[in-house]
A and B are shown apart, each in its own frame.
Chain A
């Protein structure tokens, strides 16, 4: 599915965004790349601009400047093709309360044009993995937070998207689901696909991510593999937490 010759699945070039009426830039000329086979962790303090960036990538917000290319398709110029190549789960997945889980999954599968046979297989696999099979015919209204999140993850993975975008995916998951999910991200990337996710859990980012980017006040202040980041701070055995805290010092403390 990944187009040959595309060196990266996601490419941001000088992306900026000021919220309507806002005075400061929520995201300030941000550039980064996510390559095939890579899990990319997106870190930063509260209000740094992570969610804003993700919303622009998935087409929920229009960037003021810059370009966002998803697997060769510009999200602004050709949103439908770009979105076809992504799966997205927001930080607080509010799903249609008055649909059943199964109706929701069928809607998503119809929108992405997943064949009946393929969706049967994938829905069965993903639901039994998340242990959601027995609830899937209930209204989403009756789901717990984590169950909604698992359903959203299932929906976003139905069409096996080359690029998987997640905003703080680990927040509502129990330890078992969280582990399963991390394994899933890994195997997704082993197909040559990529995952881009934001998180505050630095241990996870450190162990799981091939590369991380740290954003603060809208600007990307560091980006690279763990080794590259360590080189940045001239100390060899620092944890990601130390690096993060060092790089994102509040202004007064300078």
Chain B
């Protein structure tokens, strides 16, 4: 007999990776087999290309670090970045998976302890994280192992153990914070909005603590002396870097010193902290998890009394179908905590990054650099192009335009599909809503940027117009992509918006497009063309992408829409 926890975990993994589902459709029924193969092959190809890029980067980093005797910094940087990314994105992920899964009404009546349900969901999250780590951490471990003087067996063994433990600490921390948050939110009446605010505050807190720890690095004056001291000692920078998050030092030493007693001790410390944080999370979760979930099942009711508007007021105004669809879409999005936490996180992270830039700009050296940049003849046109790139990045990373039909899910898609709406209108409504949310979300970052850069109003207008146009183009193509292959069958909303293949594809395409246009602009500037030329040319490219998207939508929209079956 399988342990019940194990079979629970296996069932959850099966659902998460749609194993039975894919086997049924692609292997037994052989339908759309080519599509399955194509998807798998292109995922593997993309992963390989990305891994190779990371590997090259790690090798270059290693060579640089070796000059100052700090090779292990290669590992620390990778580990630290991975752990922080998992921690920052962890809050939204954990809240979605633990508290907003469709299967909770099925799981809770089962005779399981809360910690068992939590542990199974935790296992699913870990497995998802491993997929990402496989692409980003493995190449770093390989690069280090090939360059550094290590004994293969013990190095590989430690590397695998560290790899498997890597997500445990950040996800456990995010889980502990989220369980507490959701318990507190559970006491209140307006749970959705407080979940959103709380989730953002927690994420902000995590970023803030990180920034604070960074400023604890040695004071400016002693820099010279500090660096000299560092250089005299092998890999001592690791300790400094790791001060932000001590487990990352242990993870580094566990790998880089594998086979020595120092390595073993570090490994034990790392595993120990992982076990303790996981245990703490289970203990807390066992106590508070169900209370949070159950209170989430209770929707607020107000019974605000009769519908007294005989004059056609109070919301009885008529809108055009397109506008009505877009408004509804925005309401649905903004009232769903998981969507907001995932989709809007970039809207907050970019301004925070700009603020960091601003703080650093106060440094005399940086300020000098900034001044020389700001007096460059082409600074204004470059600034405008940066504004446009900012809009484009936000669109690509938000996931909003790549998942509008997926987000409806199996449960709700019947509604739109059975209404008298053409595919073209449905897509336009979704794209319009996405665009409005993105433009609104871009404003804080734009304000900070403008405060720093002080672009003249004309450049700002050019930048914003180019930005909105490029964002529209991405929205149209994104909505088309999601209409062509919506992912309707999900158990938690996280999968609809962030872990959705369409979102990943959209992000990648967005990055590639941004790189290509950016490179073209760079070449133009190098060849001595004016900023105006660069703007006109990138504007023309954007117009072409937007126009072709609209054209494809007009031609194929209705057909794609009618293919969305359930």
Q: Do A and B bind each other?
A: yes
A residues near B (Cβ < 8 Å) are 20-22, 55, 58-62, 76, 79-84, 88, 90, 94-99, 102-103, 106-117, 119-120, 123-124, 127, 133-139, 141-142
How long is the Cα–Cα vector from A125 to B32 in the complex, in angstroms?
49
B:326-365 near A, CB below 8 Å:
328, 331-332, 335-336
Additional A-B contact list (19), CB under 8 Å, known A99-B332, A138-B301 = A59-B418, A60-B417, A76-B562, A79-B420, A80-B420, A94-B411, A94-B414, A102-B315, A103-B331, A111-B325, A111-B420, A120-B312, A124-B307, A133-B306, A135-B303, A138-B300, A138-B302, A138-B304, A139-B300
Give Cα distance in the complex from A94 to B332, angstroms. Answer: 14
Q: How far is the CA of A159 from the CA of B565 in the complex (A)?
A: 25
Given contacts A94-B412, A99-B328, A138-B302, whether A61 and B565 have CB atoms under 8 Å apart is yes
Say yes or no: B316 contacts A134, CB within 8 Å: no
With contacts A106-B316, A120-B316, A142-B300 known, is A111 near B332, CB below 8 A? Answer: no
**Inter-subunit contact B412/A134 (CB<8 Å):** no
Q: Contact: B420 with A83, CB < 8 Å?
A: yes
B527 within 8 A of A: no
Are B302 and A88 neighbours in the complex by a CB distance under 8 Å? no
Complex interface: chain B residues within 8 A of A127 (CB): 307
Chain B interface secondary structure, helix, strand, loop or mixed?
loop
Bound-complex Cα distance A124 to B315 (A): 13
A-side contacts of B310, CB under 8 Å:
120, 124
Chain A to chain B: the 10 pairs with minimum beta-carbon distance, closest first: A21-B29, A110-B324, A83-B420, A142-B299, A141-B299, A94-B411, A98-B335, A21-B31, A84-B420, A116-B312
| Chain B residues within 8 Å of A120, by CB | 309-310, 312, 316
- List of A residues within 8 angstroms of B332 by Cβ: 96, 98-99
| Contacts between chains A and B (CB distance < 8 A), count | 135
The answer to whether B315 touches A106, judged by C-beta atoms less than 8 angstroms apart, is yes
Q: Which residue of A lies closest to B561 (CB)?
A: A79
Q: Does B187 contact A (CB under 8 A)?
A: no
Chain B positions near chain A (C-beta within 8 angstroms):
24-25, 28-32, 192, 299-307, 309-310, 312, 315-321, 323-325, 328, 331-332, 335-336, 411-412, 414-415, 417-422, 558, 562-563, 565-566
A20 and B566 in contact (CB under 8 A), knowing A98-B331, A135-B303, A138-B301?
Answer: no
- A95 vs B301: C-alpha distance when bound (angstroms): 17
Which residues of chain B come closer than 8 Å to A111, judged between CB atoms?
Answer: 321, 324-325, 419-421
Could you write out 28 A-B pairs with CB less than 8 Å apart?
A59-B418, A59-B562, A61-B566, A62-B562, A62-B565, A79-B558, A80-B420, A80-B421, A80-B422, A90-B414, A96-B332, A97-B299, A98-B332, A99-B331, A107-B324, A107-B328, A110-B323, A111-B419, A116-B312, A116-B317, A120-B310, A120-B312, A123-B316, A124-B310, A135-B301, A139-B301, A142-B299, A142-B301
Which residue among A79, A123, A133 has the maximum number of chain B CB atoms within 10 Å of its CB? A79
| With A80-B422, A110-B321 as contacts: A133 and B307 at CB distance below 8 Å | yes
Which residue from chain A places its CB closest to the CB of B25 in the assembled complex?
A21
CB-based nearest B residue for A138: B301
Cβ–Cβ contact B419 & A109, under 8 A = no
Nearest chain-B residue to A155 (Cβ)?
B415
A113 CA / B419 CA spacing, docked (Å) = 12
* Distance of A231 Cα from B290 Cα, bound (Å): 60
| In the complex, residue of chain A having the shortest beta-carbon distance to the beta carbon of B314 | A102
Taking a contact as CB atoms under 8 Å apart, the answer to whether A137 and B300 are in contact is no
CA distance A110 to B429 in the complex (A): 13
What is the CA–CA distance of A134 and B300 in the complex, to the nearest angstrom? 14
The interface residues of chain B lying within 8 Å CB-to-CB of A61 are 565-566
Docked CA distance A108–B126 (Å):
42
A98 proximity list for chain B (CB < 8 A): 192, 331-332, 335-336
Residue of B whose beta carbon sits closest to that of A165? B418
Q: Are A113 and B321 neighbours in the complex by a CB distance under 8 Å?
A: yes
CB-based contact A109/B415 at 8 Å: no
Residues of A within 8 A of B324 (CB): 106-107, 110-111
Task: Compute how far the CA of A1 lies from the CA of B307 in the bound complex, rounded to whole angstroms.
Answer: 29
CB contacts (< 8 Å) of B30 on chain A: these are 21
Cβ-defined contact, A88 with B418, below 8 A: yes
In the assembled complex, the Cα of A241 lies from the Cα of B158 at a distance in Å of: 72
B254 to chain A, nearest CB (A): 46
Q: How far is the CA of A112 from the CA of B563 in the complex (A)?
A: 22
A120 CA to B562 CA, complexed, in Å: 32
Residue of B nearest to A104 (CB): B328
Query: Across the interface, which residues of A come within 8 angstroms of B317, CB to CB?
Result: 116
Residues on the A chain within 8 Å of B563, using CB: 62
Which among B192, B302, B323 has the greatest number of chain A C-beta atoms within 10 A?
B302
| CB < 8 Å neighbour of B414 from A60, A116, A135 | A60
Separation of A20 and B563 alpha carbons in the complex (Å): 12
Which B residues are in CB contact (< 8 Å) with A110? Answer: 318-321, 323-325
A99 to B192, CA, bound (A): 13
On whether the beta carbons of A83 and B418 are closer than 8 Å, the reply is: yes
**B422 / chain A contacts, CB cutoff of 8 Å:** 79-80
A119 x B419 contact (CB < 8 A): no
The reply to whether A139 and B316 contact each other, CB–CB distance below 8 Å, is no
- Chain A positions within 8 Å of B299 at CB level: 97, 138-139, 141-142
**Interface pair B31/A20, CB less than 8 Å apart:** yes
Q: Which of B310, B323, B415 has the most CB of A within 10 A?
A: B415
Neighbouring A residues of B301 by C-beta, 8 Å: 135, 138-139, 142
CA distance A82 to B562 in the complex (A): 14
Q: How far is the CA of A43 from the CA of B24 in the complex (A)?
A: 30
Pairwise interchain contact B312-A81, C-beta atoms closer than 8 A: no
- Which residue of chain B is the closest to A84 with respect to CB atoms? B420
From B31, B414, B419, B566, A108 is in contact (CB under 8 Å) with B419
Most buried by A among B310, B315, B420: B420
CA distance A206 to B324 in the complex (A): 41
With a CB–CB cut-off of 8 A, which chain A residues contact B304?
A: 134, 137-138
Q: How far apart are the CA atoms of A116 and B352 in the complex, in Å? A: 45
Do A81 and B303 touch (CB < 8 A)?
Answer: no
Q: How far is the CB of B437 from chain A (nearest CB, A)?
A: 15
- Bound-complex Cα distance A83 to B304 (A): 34
User: Which interface residue of B305, B306, B315, B418 has the most chain A CB atoms within 10 A?
Assistant: B418
A59 to chain B: closest residue by CB: B418
- Are the CB atoms of B303 and A116 closer together than 8 Å? no
The residues of B that contact A137 with a CB separation of less than 8 Å are 302, 304, 307
How near does chain B come to A44, taking the closest CB pair, in angstroms? 21
Residues of A within 8 A of B328 (CB): 96, 99, 103, 107
Q: CA separation between A107 and B320, bound complex, in Å?
A: 10
In whole angstroms, how far apart are the Cα atoms of A20 and B29 in the complex? Answer: 8
**With contacts A106-B316, A112-B420, A116-B312 known, is A96 near B415, CB below 8 A?**
yes
The minimal Cβ–Cβ distance linking A90 to chain B, given in whole angstroms, is 6
Across the interface, which residues of A come within 8 angstroms of B307, CB to CB? 102, 123-124, 127, 133, 136-137
In the assembled complex, which residues on chain A have CB atoms less than 8 Å from the CB atom of B309? 120
The answer, among B303, B320, B414, B562, for a CB contact under 8 Å with A79, is B562
CB distance from A217 to the nearest CB of B (A): 20
- Among A22, A99, A110, A114, chain B packs the most CB atoms within 10 A around the CB of A110
Q: How far is the CA of A138 from the CA of B303 in the complex (A)?
A: 7
> Contact: B420 with A60, CB < 8 Å?
no
Complex Cα distance, B429 from A107, in Å, reads 12
Closest A-chain residue to B192, C-beta based?
A98
